[in-house]
Amino acid sequence: MTGDRILDAALVARVMSGAEAAAQIGPRETLAFSGFAGAGRPKAVPEALGEVQEWPAGIDVRHSRVAQHALSGFYGALDVAVVEVAAVLPDGLLVPGSSVGNSQTWLDLADTVILEVNSRHPRGYEGFHDIHHGPRLPLLRAPIQLTTPMQRIGDPFMLVDPAKVVAVVETDRPDEGTPSSPIDELSRTMADLVVDFLRHEVRHDRLHRSLLPLHAGAGPVPDAVLAGLQKAEFEHLTAYTDTIHDGLLDLLDSGKLIGVSATSLALSEAGSRRFDGDVHHYKGRVLLRPQEISNHPEVICRLGLIAIDSMTEVDIHGNVNAVDGSSDFAGNAHLNFFVAPSTTEQGTVSRVVPSVSRVDHTAHEVQVVVTEQGVADLRGLSPAARARRIIDSCAHPDFREQLTEAAESARPYR
């Protein structure tokens, strides 16, 4: 594999096994691994190390801010970066693999670097990436000059100082596949409501027939929305999101979607085989960026995204407890949807509650809530009207009386 994958003569001499590379890491050194949503994560070195605590550890922060916080020193020093790539070119140029994530930041910050060169990633991945380099901290950084989803603003390669690379490990192993969410009738019902709402917005001239760039989060309902768009009348769609699921691949294959920008693939095993087996078919229509760009609030706001995300629960005030990953997109989108069944699977617990257990999105930014019961368009409503709309349109009938009592007892709703 070395011949066509590792083209830097100095780094060829540093090829070793995963166990030998792991031995280069000291017992108290901090480690950062590449990868996003399971894709592009190194495999041999973490396996040789056993259980480790990754850096930064245990943080709960928006994905768009991790790199900035790390560069600002919020998480302390980084000793070692272990980064998976598809190829190593001369002079420190790296061809990323199935994700970008924060890899370039880890390469910049780490004292030493270990590269895993994974031949399972097609050599044709070269050209799929857009790595934005430049000042990234306050007072020095400039506006992100990105005005369309598929615009390039960087370089196709990551950069590393070859002197920092202490080991290169050759692998040939797939990413862990992301299973496709099963789309049941309940999910299709909610997806139909979302697609019909988009039609309503087009009829009232609030959206164009090609809509706006799409973000579809994780879960069966966003997946069902993508499947619904496959059959809908909308054409020439684009997507600006963090991960590329099988549903987006389907839209690309059908021609409905003309391009998608993300930071990572998140395909099923079948989807990965389809993508890697015909990788040149997707070149120019798939672009992978650092997650601080894919999730950048400034860019999301400028592009005017339509964000469709799953939620765990919503309260009568309009606050949402959402599935991880929604915050950057929904909070800055032109139009956001939060979707979930009105009850848990057994039907004994309402997902519409008097007060959510955790607030990921406040009522000030939640626009449209969808359950199988219906759609609550909360735009332009007072707190009392929001409560009535959510209860009447989205709550299961078994819980509406109880929720109405809770709304009437809450002082802002009297």
* pLDDT for residue 325: 63
Alpha-carbon separation of residue 115 from 5, 24, 321, 375 (angstroms)? 12, 12, 38, 49
**How far, in Å, CA of 325 to CA of 208, rounded?**
27
* pLDDT for residue 411: 60
Strands 112-118 and 165-171: parallel
**How far, in Å, CA of 157 to CA of 155, rounded?**
5
* pLDDT for residue 57: 73
Alpha-carbon separation of residue 326 from 57, 339, 403 (angstroms)? 21, 12, 26
231 Cβ contact list (under 8 Å, min separation 6)? none
* pLDDT for residue 60: 81
* pLDDT for residue 367: 98
From first to last of its 414 residues, the chain has per-residue pLDDT tens of: 667 899 999 999 999 999 999 999 998 899 999 999 889 999 999 999 988 877 787 778 889 999 999 999 999 999 999 999 999 999 999 999 999 999 999 999 999 999 999 999 999 999 999 999 876 788 888 889 999 999 999 999 999 999 999 999 999 999 987 777 788 999 999 999 999 999 999 999 999 999 999 999 989 999 999 999 999 999 999 999 999 999 999 999 999 999 999 999 999 999 999 999 999 999 999 999 999 999 999 999 999 999 999 999 999 999 999 977 668 999 999 999 999 999 998 889 999 999 999 999 999 999 999 999 999 999 999 999 999 999 999 999 999 999 999 998 876 555
Scored b (16 or more CB within 10 A) or e, 242-276 reads: bbbbbbbbbbbeeebbbbbbbbbbbbbeebbebbb
pTM: 0.95
Look at residues 243, 121, 240, 119 and name the one whose alpha carbon lies nearest to residue 180: 243
Q: Are 210 and 239 in contact (CB under 8 A)?
A: no
**How far, in Å, CA of 89 to CA of 158, rounded?**
10
Alpha-carbon separation of residue 190 from 201, 320, 406 (angstroms)? 17, 17, 26
Burial of residue 52 (CB within 10 Å: 0-12, 13-18, 19+) is middle
Q: Are 318 and 311 in contact (CB under 8 A)?
A: no
